[in-house]
Amino acid sequence: MPALFVSHGSPMIVLDESPARAFLESLGPDLPRPTAILVITAHFEATEPTLTTAAKPAMIYDFGGFPEPLYRMTYPAPGGPDLAAKASSSPCSRTATRAGTSHSVRRLPRCAVKASSSSAPAR
């Protein structure tokens, strides 16, 4: 399974037609369908890298000034507690069951790694 870094850009990508949206829509059929996604996000921080473990994470709308339809969009993808358990042997040994998931995560079971606010290179 390939590992990808995919920046979703502006939240408006889900409402507006754009070359970036067309690229992301065309990317999926060329890749094997994953069973889960580990999202590394800077949309929220913790004092140390932390894995989300919620079975049904809430959506995080951490943006402002956009059209109202964007704030009504939901993506009821399940959380990935099993994925978090597997990943917990990594440097991200801390977990957060009540943490939500970034608005960039769509359909597949997912587990987010919260970025560390520590400036230490090991983090």
Between 87 and 56, name the one with better pLDDT: 56
| Residue among 53, 65, 66, 34 at smallest CA distance from 100 | 53
Query: What does the DSSP assignment read for the chain?
Result: ---------SGGGGTS--HHHHHHHHHGGGSPPPS-EEEEEEEEEESS-EEE--SSPPEE----SS-HHHHH------B-HHHHHHHTTSS--EEETT--EETT--SS-EEEEEEE----TT-
| C-beta neighbour count of 114 within 10 angstroms | 24
The domain limits of the chain are 36-116
At residue 108 the predicted structure's pLDDT band, cuts being 50, 70 and 90, is very low
In this predicted structure, the answer to whether residue 111 has a pLDDT above a threshold of 60 is no
Tell me if the pTM is above 0.75: no
Confidence at residue 22, expressed as pLDDT on a 0 to 100 scale: 92
